[in-house]
Amino acid sequence: MKFEIDMCNGSIWKKMLLFAIPLMLSSMLQLLFNAADIVVVGRFAGDNSLAAVGSTSSLINLMVNLFVGLSVGANVLVARYFGAKQESDLSSTVHTAITLSLISGVILAIIGVIGAPVILKWMQTPGDVLNLAVIYLRIYFLGMPVVMLYNFGAAILRAVGDTGRPLIFLIIAGIINVTLNLLFVIVLKMDVAGVAIATVISQCVSAVLVLRCLVKEKRAIRVELKKLRIYKDKFLKILQIGLPAGFQGTLFSLSNVFIQSSVNSFGEVVVAGNSAASNIEGFVFVAMNAFHQAAISFTSQNVGAGKYERVNKILVTALGCVFVVGTVLGMGVYLLGEPLLGIYSGSAEVIKAGIVRLGIVCTTYALCGMMDVMVGSLRGLGYSIMPMIVSLIGACALRLVFLATVFQMEQFHYIETIYYTYPISWGLTFFVHVICFIVVRRMLNKRWKNA
């Protein structure tokens, strides 16, 4: 109980910070430990290995996001039942979510191991890094069942306001990851295979710790192994909210795969610089994403508890927090770009290529965070299809059209043109989400008054 945050009473911004800061630190630590993969490979195995690991990130996101989206559905449903104090429904939702996580992980492992070579070739991965990328991807996807178990388990804990224990679990797993990276790559000379194996082992540790936490729980979110199965009604509700979120994440990642393919056409130096810059940007993104998660959990619990008057305040608070965090961190990363990129590679050309991306993407990153908070609030209200459609048209489709038209013109066929697709799409999509939220609130106000 000491880890739980009461989202339905008291100051919103104080409790949102209490919720978001451990989640922010958890995500940033996770990225920091993942960055150890890139840093160790780039420093001790060479630029080809760095490009091999970096070029798989968009593909991993593409394949994982559909199932991770289902954890969003579990998060919303658990928070709703927790706020309404419906313990029987809460328990069956938790057991459905854990079972679903294991099934999802097995499916992903099979697809990733079998399909890695074909998909990487389709992405125009440079020939001299293709074999290394295949090795990394296959080993990484063998660990998918535990990755999914951790994601769903952490979503359940977030739903009841517990972001503290996942932070502790990630610290433990991350230390193991870094230690094994150094052992496998520097001492045993295992190159990208060593990095992938270290990642899988550390993910196993974090998944076991989350599951142990849920098994030992005293509340209705307790996991009992004998009750693990799919409860049809809860499964359908998870799909109703989570599937659109998953499709959105998948199609967003698909657009990023096309973008990565376009980046790959500029050669190894640009690919390596782009990979390093993307990794650094990830720290800003996950810091902002903590408020996206907060918007979902806070909104869901308050709707479940019938405290509808707090919904608008939650949104405004989350938007204010994400704007400040995105602006400060985004500008800070750009201003410190050279020394930060220097951690990943000693090549001046790679650093220069990374600075180009940071100057365009990171300085405007607050727009991305604000867009995501709007999506989180709408999902917390139970609306998942609407933000999916808006996001896919405003961000995903717009980027692809941009690449197929403007980028193909000789005068615009530069790497900078690709990077400008991000802030343009974020700004337009955020604006449309605001309109959607206003419409939804008016509809719900009438429904709540008549209830």
Domain membership of residue 344 (yes or no) is yes
- Dig out the tokens for 26 from the structure: 């958890």
Q: For 107-133, how does the pLDDT look when each residue is reduced to its tens digit (9 = 90+)? A: 989 988 898 888 787 767 777 778 888
Query: DSSP string of 220-243?
Result: TT---GGG-S--HHHHHHHHHHHH
Burial (CB count within 10 angstroms: exposed 0-12, middle 13-18, buried 19+), residue 6: exposed
Task: Let me know if residue 246 belongs to a domain.
Answer: yes
From residue 227, how far is each of 24, 194, 230, 392 by CA, in Å?
32, 37, 9, 37
pTM, two decimals, is 0.79
Give the separation between CA 383 and CA 378, rounded to whole angstroms: 5
Our measurement of the distance from residue 302's CA atom to the centroid of its chain's CA atoms, rounded to an integer in Å, reads 24
Q: State the Cα–Cα distance between residues 275 and 272, nearest whole angstrom.
A: 5
Of the listed ranges 25-39, 72-86, 125-139, 413-427, the one predicted with least confidence:
25-39
Q: Do the domain assignments include residue 40?
A: yes
Average pLDDT, the chain: 86
Amino acid at 339: P
Res 451: pLDDT: 57
Determine, yes or no, domain membership for 7: no
Q: Give, to the nearest 10 degrees, the angle between helix 337-344 and helix 311-335.
A: 80
Cα 234 to its chain centre, rounded Å, is 24
Number of domains in the chain: 1
Q: Is residue 75 part of a domain?
A: yes
Judge whether 322 lies within some domain: yes
Q: Is there a domain that residue 4 lies in? A: no
Closest among 443, 195, 402, 175 to 308, alpha carbons compared: 443
pLDDT at 313 over 60: yes
Residue 3 included in any domain: no
Q: State how far Cα 358 lies from the chain centre.
A: 19
Could you tell me the residue range of the domain that residue 414 belongs to?
A: 12-446
- Say how far apart CA 167 and CA 342 lie, in whole Å: 28
